[in-house]
Chains A and B, each alone.
Chain A
Amino acid sequence: QVQLVESGGGLVKPGGSLRLSCAASGFTFSDYFMTWIRQAPGKGLEWVSYIPGSSSYTNYADSVKGRFTISRDNAKNTLYLQMNSLRTEDTAVYYCARDLVERVGSGCPDQWGQGTLVTVSS
C-alpha cells in the first residue's frame, strides 16, 4: 500500500534552516507529482510547493518563494523540502502528499503522510 513518511522536523531558531524528507513506498514514485502542504497549529491547510515526477519545474506559495526549495530523488523514492531563512510564521505540521493522477499533475492530493512538526522559535 502507499506509504509516505516524513522526517526532519524539529525546533529551529528564526533565520535558521531545516531539510524535510518524505520517504515514499508502495507506488512508482517517479510517475507522480508530489507536494508539500502545511498546517499551522489550530489553523487550516496551506499549499507550500509542488513538483512533477521529472523535476522539470517547481511551484511555490508566495509566502515561501525564495526561501524554500522542493526537490526529489527518484532513485531513492524521496521528496525533500529545504527550508532556509525560517520565520516564526513557518511553524506548522508539514505534510507530503502524492497527486491523485499518474504522470499528469491533477493538483489534487490523494495520499498524505502523517506530517512532521516544524517549530520556529527563539
Chain B
Amino acid sequence: DARVTQTPRDKVTEMGQEVTMRCQPILGHNTVFWYRQTMMQGLELLAYFRNRAPLDDSGMPKDRFSAEMPDATLATLKIQPSEPRDSAVYFCASGLGASGRVETQYFGPGTRLLVL
C-alpha cells in the first residue's frame, strides 16, 4: 500500500532553532507539494516541485523557509530560524502530473510543529 511518509510526526522546539521536516513521496510520483495547516488559515500551499525542480514557492516566507528535493525520494522543508507563528501542521503531498496537471494528491500524515 503505497503512501507518503513524513518525519518527524511531532516536533517541539524553541524559537530561533532550525527545524527540518522530511517527506518521502510515493514512488513514481513526479510532483511534491508542501502545505501548512492552521485553524485560522486552513490549508495553505507553501511550495511544490515537479520532477524535483521547484515550480512555485510563492506561498512560503522566503527569509526563513526553504524547500528542496535532494533526490526523487526525499523532499525537505526547513525553517531557520523558527518562530512561534510557524506552529502548525505541515503536510507533504505527492501526485502524478501529466501535461502539467496533478488531479489527485496523496497526503502524508503531517508533521505537527510547536515553536515555543
Our verdict on whether A and B bind, yes or no, reads no
Q: Which B positions have Cβ atoms within 8 angstroms of A?
A: none
